[in-house]
């Protein structure tokens, strides 16, 4: 049996360091907004070449607070891809604005900038490009489009820490960018955590207030805020893991290269890496018109897989359902994509066994 994802392997390897980090926080007994969080913020800001990083309770809250800090609210429309994790759109609703869905480019799953242009109205205030599966959205085109129409840009980089576009890291392009440290992400906490990156001093100051009840300092509440802080235990654990992130990313890329070598010529759609893009393979998602049969055949061979995502965002009940004719590429992706195991701790032998099982299944479909 080869699991789709096995986090216990990573945690077994880092067990001593993680327990020591957690013990350090316990001994300090400073659990919220302390030195661990500050150190992690400084490390991640430096890593992305931006001036500020603000730790929050989750990737979802990072998006919600970034939109709120930009002043996005009732009466505003925000462009967001029709194919993503649901939080790329629900957070727009959480601040009182309206998500306007945009279809995707079929090869990279990034929002289609030409479709975004057609969806513009006088109320459009912001755009949320998502670097889905770890492949960067075409940020030079997104930025040019946003500038031309005076839109704020909030990058959803939840799946893409370490990725870059035209040599510049994702997270460093938008007015703000959002990271998730949900346990299964490329840099995962042992619980929920997230962060907003920004180069703008005004946004950073507002984000620091918004995550803590609009507090300007010493119980001076100057606006309505949230209770959404990155806790010190998670920050300390993440500081241990971030030291390994580059090696993990390299391993993900090597596994992807191996799959590419082994999976050609069987009628399977393989992930692309656009010229100028550095993909970090949060997910290695293949495409097949008979996806469900392929998934079943792999399960029978003991290979774990997952579908990200079986229903486009506007098709979700919470957004009213439907939309297949408006967003055909999103719907086609939802029918065809299948993520196969690609976490860094997979052995070379397991990668080969997965590839052999996929080849065999495809040949029999
Ligand atoms: C995981 C994820 C989020 C939300 O992050 P959480 O930390 O789970 O709240 C948002 N957008 C995308 C694309 C994600 O994959």
Q: What does the alpha-carbon distance between residue 28 and residue 288 come to, in Å, rounded to a whole number? A: 52
What does the pLDDT average to over 253-271?
97
Q: Give the model's confidence band at 73: pLDDT under 50 very low, under 70 low, under 90 confident, else very high.
A: very high
Phi/psi of residue 186, nearest 5 degrees: -60, -35
The token duo for 106 is: 């079929």
End-to-end CA distance of the chain: 22
85 lines ligand 1 (CB under 6 A): yes
Distances (CA, A) of 38 to 41, 65, 304: 5, 18, 38
Pick the atom of ligand 1 nearest to 61's CA.
Answer: 9
130 lines ligand 1 (CB under 6 A): yes
Q: Quickly list H helices, 95-184.
A: 113-118, 139-148
137 lines ligand 1 (CB under 6 A): no
∠ CA 163-22-192, nearest 5°, is 45
DSSP label at residue 309: -
Contact between 40 and 158 under an 8 Å Cβ cutoff? The reply is: no
Q: Which of 314, 301, 312, 313 is nearest to 358 (CA)?
A: 301
Domain boundaries, the chain: 7-242, 245-364
What does the pLDDT average to over 146-152?
98
Q: What is the mean pLDDT of the chain?
A: 98
Q: Which of 5, 1, 2, 3 is nearest to 343 (CA)?
A: 5
Pick the atom of ligand 1 nearest to 63's CA.
Answer: 10
The preferred substitution site among 131, 156, 309 for testing ligand 1, maximizing ligand atoms within 8 Å of CB, is 156
Contact between 194 and 161 under an 8 Å Cβ cutoff? The reply is: no
81 lines ligand 1 (CB under 6 A): no
Residue 94: burial class (beta carbons within 10 Å; 0-12, 13-18, 19+): middle
What does the pLDDT average to over 15-31?
98
Q: How far is the CA of 85 from the centre of ligand 1 (A)?
A: 7
The preferred substitution site among 60, 190, 283, 313 for testing ligand 1, maximizing ligand atoms within 8 Å of CB, is 60
Q: Which of 30, 77, 103, 24 is nearest to 312 (CA)?
A: 103
Q: How far is the CA of 180 from the centre of ligand 1 (A)?
A: 6
The token duo for 66 is: 């970034």
Q: How far is the CA of 63 from the centre of ligand 1 (A)?
A: 9
84 lines ligand 1 (CB under 6 A): yes
Q: What is the pLDDT of residue 176?
A: 98
59 lines ligand 1 (CB under 6 A): yes
**Closest C-alpha residue for ligand 1 atom 2:** 158
Q: What does the alpha-carbon distance between residue 364 and residue 298 come to, in Å, rounded to a whole number? A: 12
> Strand ranges (DSSP E) for the chain?
52-56, 77-81, 98-102, 124-127, 152-156, 164-165, 168-169, 176-180, 194-198, 277-278, 284-287, 337-340
Q: What is the pLDDT of residue 280?
A: 98
Q: What does the alpha-carbon distance between residue 104 and residue 336 come to, in Å, rounded to a whole number? A: 14
What does the pLDDT average to over 32-36?
97
What element of type H or E holds 93? helix 87-94
Q: How far is the CA of 209 from the centre of ligand 1 (A)?
A: 22
- Four-point Cα dihedral 215, 86, 275, 255, nearest 10: 100
226 lines ligand 1 (CB under 6 A): no
Q: Tell whether pTM > 0.85.
A: yes
The preferred substitution site among 58, 91, 154, 158 for testing ligand 1, maximizing ligand atoms within 8 Å of CB, is 158
CATH for 245-364, among 3.90.1010.10, 3.40.50.2000, 3.90.1150.10, 3.40.50.620?
A: 3.90.1150.10
Cis peptide before 309 (omega within 30 of 0): yes
Quickly name the fold that domain 7-242 has: 3.40.640
The token duo for 141 is: 């085109």
**Closest C-alpha residue for ligand 1 atom 7:** 59
What number of residues does the chain have? 365
Q: How would DSSP label each residue in 237-287?
A: HHHHHHTTHHHHHHHHHHHHHHHHHHSTTSSPBPPP--TTEE---SSEEEE
155 lines ligand 1 (CB under 6 A): no
The preferred substitution site among 111, 159, 171 for testing ligand 1, maximizing ligand atoms within 8 Å of CB, is 159
Q: How far is the CA of 219 from the centre of ligand 1 (A)?
A: 31
Q: Give the model's confidence band at 9: pLDDT under 50 very low, under 70 low, under 90 confident, else very high.
A: very high
In the chain, the percentage of residues whose pLDDT exceeds 70 is 100
**Closest C-alpha residue for ligand 1 atom 14:** 158
pLDDT digits (tens, 9 = 90+) for 301-354: 999 999 999 999 999 999 999 899 999 999 999 999 999 999 999 999 999 999
Phi/psi of residue 197, nearest 5 degrees: -105, 140
pLDDT digits (tens, 9 = 90+) for 192-247: 999 999 999 999 999 999 999 999 989 999 999 999 999 999 999 999 999 999 99
């Amino acid at each position: 049996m080869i699991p789709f994802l096995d986090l216990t392997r990573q945690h077994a390897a880092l067990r001593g360091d993680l327990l020591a980090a957690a013990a350090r926080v316990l001994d300090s007994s400073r659990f919220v907004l302390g030195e661990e969080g500050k150190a992690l913020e400084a490390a991640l800001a430096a890593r992305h070449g931006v001036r500020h990083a603000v730790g929050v309770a989750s990737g979802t809250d990072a998006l919600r607070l970034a939109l709120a800090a930009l002043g996005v609210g009732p009466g505003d429309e925000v462009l967001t891809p029709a194919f993503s994790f649901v939080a790329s759109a629900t957070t727009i609703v959480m601040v009182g604005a309206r998500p306007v869905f945009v279809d995707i480019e079929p090869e990279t799953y990034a929002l289609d900038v030409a479709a975004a242009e057609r969806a513009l109205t006088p109320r459009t205030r912001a755009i949320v490009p998502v670097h889905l599966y770890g492949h960067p959205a075409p940020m030079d085109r997104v930025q040019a489009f946003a500038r031309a129409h005076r839109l704020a840009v909030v990058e959803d980089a939840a799946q893409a820490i370490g990725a870059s576009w035209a040599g510049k890291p994702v997270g460093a392009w938008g007015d703000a960018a959002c990271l998730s440290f949900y346990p299964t992400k490329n840099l995962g906490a042992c619980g929920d955590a997230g962060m907003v990156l920004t180069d703008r001093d005004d946004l950073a100051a507002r984000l620091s207030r918004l995550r803590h009840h609009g507090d300007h300092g010493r119980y001076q509440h100057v606006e309505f805020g949230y209770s959404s802080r990155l806790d010190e235990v998670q920050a300390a654990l993440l500081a241990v893991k971030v030291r390994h992130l580059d090696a993990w990313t390299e391993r993900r890329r090597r596994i992807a290269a191996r799959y590419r070598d082994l999976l050609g010529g069987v009628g399977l759609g393989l992930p692309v890496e656009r010229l100028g893009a550095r993909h970090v393979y949060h997910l290695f998602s293949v495409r097949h018109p008979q996806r469900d049969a392929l998934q079943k055949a792999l399960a029978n061979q003991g290979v774990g897989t997952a579908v990200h995502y079986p229903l486009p965002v506007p098709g979700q009940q919470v957004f009213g359902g439907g939309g297949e004719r408006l967003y055909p590429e999103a719907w086609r992706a939802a029918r065809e994509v299948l993520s196969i195991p690609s976490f860094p701790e997979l052995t070379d032998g397991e990668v080969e066994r997965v590839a052999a099982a996929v080849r065999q299944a495809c040949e029999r479909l």
